[in-house]
Structure 1
């Protein structure tokens, strides 16, 4: 692979081809920065109007990750440059990232995402918007934002509210990880294939007889992805635990949910780890995560991204996020000094302030 942060190429020859975008910073698990987002957004918009491009294929270089999220080191730097005021880099980053997410969710052509390995945060935002989401035997999905005092953005307010039962709420509050089988059950993935089959898929995409009709091309992609998996899908953990997950997350009172989750003393290791994820996460973040998910249940995509940008801008202007990143990724002491010890300690007026317009923040712009 070249040294480009996103490798732009095509699959196939002739008048109809597949546009390919490969995230190409495997040393940091293909985490997204502003340059990568600009490249991806620019090509997606260009290819949307290009009749020679029939479909899009998005993947990540390396064996470990499709995309582990956004470059939070740069976001933290931006958030600490002007304490309490506009964070130009971070807020513009969110605005452009969410625009890219919106474009993927509403794209006029089929988009295949090869979601192998780590798919978290911003990586989930890319995959969730694609029409054909492929997961593999080593897929590991998560929305770990509570651990750094952020929130499941990049459209998470939309796609997490469309999971069965209380899965979306559970993943958001606990930073729990799920595998390929869980992703299929939770409507966060569409197709399971072995990672080694990516070459067969790309070869089939390259040789397909594409048309100018998006519906016909979608059917072609559907047929290609129906190949028999060459590996066995790992057993999922979520579906068997749905009664427990729904019971833990039930109701509209975050304090009660917190009490139930922290009191969990069962013997299921995955639930224990999820409990600990919530316990160690920011309680201020838990409050705004819970509020945003509840508020956005019936939002349109544009309403989702408008409110996510507002919330994201306000979070960047508060020190909780910088402290979360410091503890996890800078000093790596894993001892964040959160502002509050419990969700019931978060004042209503402080929480409300995160959902008000952020002076000087950018606005969302939608291409269609």
Structure 2
């Protein structure tokens, strides 16, 4: 079967300035990121960065359902299970290293990089979107870090950017995998613009017609003309802001989980979040709490380096493979986690996940 790829094109605009278009081309998997896709996108962004004719970059997903639903956890599952079709025992290290290097490049990209966050934006998809210089959401945007459902944890820089949200909100989102809409993304700093989906083609034309001699200002001006925030759906996070903060305003993750699960408010969004946490991986809850505590005041690069260590460690423990099996392989949605609940997780088990795999001078992301 042909490996899903990323489609690239360059559109000539005003004064021969060019707009680089990158489109994730795996709509059947909701544009989930394979290692090949990551590597191709990284190489093209590097080339466009060095090309003076490329004034700005546009990143989007193919199809009408998703920008990107996450990383290729099915490939990681096969690697963890020793599937001979998986290229090498070091696949998890190669995969996460490439993914985080790409995400860091997007965060630090020197040219305007517009991310069209239409449809599902989850996990690794949010990793691509979070670092864009102009992050656009639409009426269909559905954003989440749902790793608690598979036994991973919010990675792709989330240990850093969840800490930049109002106190407690990042912890709540990580523990529950809560789904956000466009208004929530704008309120929490995960998006910069709301533009209706139907305006996409006209927006591309306007960018091509703009004077891109001052790219950042020109791109911002065009996006501003197309923005219609009054059409964004009502938010969910701010409506429950005090509740979310109160639920996690404790020093201990087990107590925060107990508070969330014991909350009896009759609200569909809160109830869905409770159910996700109740069925989720107990170790993940600890990792959410721990990683946000560790990276409250660190740099983005430090967070990525720590996440690489933890993500590879997750592939060497049982829960991640079990979570992917239950959700995406056998699809029975009955994961058998290694601990019955959060209160039953010993501190020693958490420390085992956090144990360093490399000396600082040998770390694969030491150059960030």
TM-score of the pair, normalised by structure 1: 0.94
Deviations 1:24-82 (A, max 9, x none): 11111000000000110001111111111111100011110000001111011111229
Structure 1: how far apart are the matches of 2:352 and 2:365?
24
Question: Is residue 2:33 matched to residue 1:32?
Answer: yes
Report the more deviating stretch, 355-364 or 264-273: 355-364
Which one of the candidate residues 112, 130, 133 is aligned to 2:132? 130
Q: Secondary structure at the match of 1:354?
A: helix
Q: Residue 319 of structure 2 aligns with which residue?
A: 320
Q: Secondary structure at the match of 2:136?
A: strand
Q: Secondary structure at the match of 1:178?
A: coil
**Number of equivalenced pairs:** 360
- Are the aligned partners of 1:115 and 1:133 in contact in 2 as well (CA < 8 Å)? yes
- Are the aligned partners of 2:305 and 2:366 in contact in 1 as well (CA < 8 Å)? no
Report the more deviating stretch, 164-173 or 276-285: 164-173
- Are the aligned partners of 1:163 and 1:188 in contact in 2 as well (CA < 8 Å)? no
- Are the aligned partners of 1:12 and 1:205 in contact in 2 as well (CA < 8 Å)? no
Question: Is residue 2:80 matched to residue 1:79?
Answer: yes
Structure 2: how far apart are the matches of 1:44 and 1:24?
16
Structure 2: how far apart are the matches of 1:92 and 1:247?
40
Structure 1: how far apart are the matches of 2:303 and 2:358?
19
- Are the aligned partners of 2:56 and 2:111 in contact in 1 as well (CA < 8 Å)? yes
Deviations 1:173-214 (A, max 9, x none): 101101000100011111000011111111111122222xxx
Deviations 1:88-134 (A, max 9, x none): 11111000000000000011111100000000000000000101000
Relative to structure 1, the CA distance from residue 338 to residue 174 in structure 2 (aligned partners, 3 Å threshold; closer, same or farther) is same
Q: Residue 353 of structure 2 aligns with which residue?
A: 354
- Are the aligned partners of 2:318 and 2:338 in contact in 1 as well (CA < 8 Å)? no
Residue 359 of structure 1, CA deviation? 6.0
Structure 2: how far apart are the matches of 1:8 and 1:339?
43
Q: Residue 109 of structure 1 aligns with which residue?
A: 111
Q: Residue 20 of structure 1 aligns with which residue?
A: 21
Unaligned runs of 5+ in 1: none
Residue 366 of structure 1, CA deviation? 6.8
Structure 2: how far apart are the matches of 1:343 and 1:144?
17
- Are the aligned partners of 1:99 and 1:364 in contact in 2 as well (CA < 8 Å)? no
Q: Residue 61 of structure 1 aligns with which residue?
A: 62
Relative to structure 1, the CA distance from residue 4 to residue 207 in structure 2 (aligned partners, 3 Å threshold; closer, same or farther) is farther
- Are the aligned partners of 1:12 and 1:207 in contact in 2 as well (CA < 8 Å)? no
Deviations 1:228-256 (A, max 9, x none): 44682111111110000001111221111
Q: Secondary structure at the match of 2:225?
A: coil
Summarize the alignment of residues 323-342 of structure 1 with structure 2, pairs less than 5 Å apart. Answer: 323-342=322-341
Residue 3 of structure 1, CA deviation? 8.8
Which one of the candidate residues 151, 154, 158 is aligned to 1:152? 154
Structure 1: how far apart are the matches of 2:49 and 2:27?
27
Q: Secondary structure at the match of 1:20?
A: strand
TM-score of the pair, normalised by structure 2: 0.94
Structure 2: how far apart are the matches of 1:240 and 1:205?
35
How much is the aligned-residue C-alpha RMSD, in angstroms? 2.0
Which one of the candidate residues 205, 208, 217 is aligned to 1:206? 208
Question: Is residue 2:163 matched to residue 1:165?
Answer: no
- Are the aligned partners of 1:22 and 1:61 in contact in 2 as well (CA < 8 Å)? yes
- Are the aligned partners of 1:95 and 1:363 in contact in 2 as well (CA < 8 Å)? no
Q: Secondary structure at the match of 2:333?
A: coil
Summarize the alignment of residues 258-297 of structure 1 with structure 2, pairs less than 5 Å apart. Answer: 258-297=257-296
Q: Residue 99 of structure 2 aligns with which residue?
A: 97
Which one of the candidate residues 194, 216, 233 is aligned to 2:196? 194
Question: Is residue 2:343 matched to residue 1:344?
Answer: yes
Question: Is residue 2:220 matched to residue 1:222?
Answer: yes
Unaligned runs of 5+ in 2: none
Relative to structure 1, the CA distance from residue 343 to residue 3 in structure 2 (aligned partners, 3 Å threshold; closer, same or farther) is closer
Structure 1: how far apart are the matches of 2:293 and 2:273?
20
Residue 227 of structure 1, CA deviation? 2.0
Residue 293 of structure 1, CA deviation? 1.2
